[in-house]
Amino acid sequence: MKHNGVCALNDDMADVLESFKRADVLVLATPVYFYGICAQMKTFIDRTYPIWQHLGEKEVYYIISAGLGEDIIKRSLGDLNGFVEHLEKQEIKGRIYASNVMDAGEVTETSFMNAAYEMGRAV
């Protein structure tokens, strides 16, 4: 943040930040791990810190999966909402809460797949 939006860590995140800045649409997709978002998503959010005062305007979509019910997913929303609230202008245009999908592949048998397809088509 103190280096004109250039991260002090010199790695691939520089390219990710450039893509992020150009994007009109942001799809935040994460499983729930121990009542929160996954570590990779949290790391992505944290690493936008160099530009957090200029995150831009985005249309936002959430896709969140969990082994248990929708209440668990809602409990995990704090980190995503906290990040999205820092966008200069934002609208959450769609949410898919894929609850009760514990095992690998289980989600393919649910209506969440079609919901994701339709959400993508509407972007």
Catalog residues that contact ligand FMN under the rule CB under 6 A: 31-35, 65-68, 72, 101-102
Q: Identity (one letter) of the amino acid at 111?
A: S
Distance of CA 122 to the CA centre of its chain: 18
Identity of the residue, 33 or 52, whose beta carbon is nearer to ligand FMN in the bound complex: 33
Identity of the residue, 55 or 73, whose beta carbon is nearer to ligand FMN in the bound complex: 73
DSSP single-letter state for residue 86: T
Q: C-beta of 111: minimal distance to ligand FMN in Å?
A: 15
Neighbours of 123 (CB within 10 A): 11
Q: C-beta of 52: minimal distance to ligand FMN in Å?
A: 26
Angle between helix axes 39-46 and 77-84 (nearest 10 degrees) is: 20
Q: C-beta of 34: minimal distance to ligand FMN in Å?
A: 5
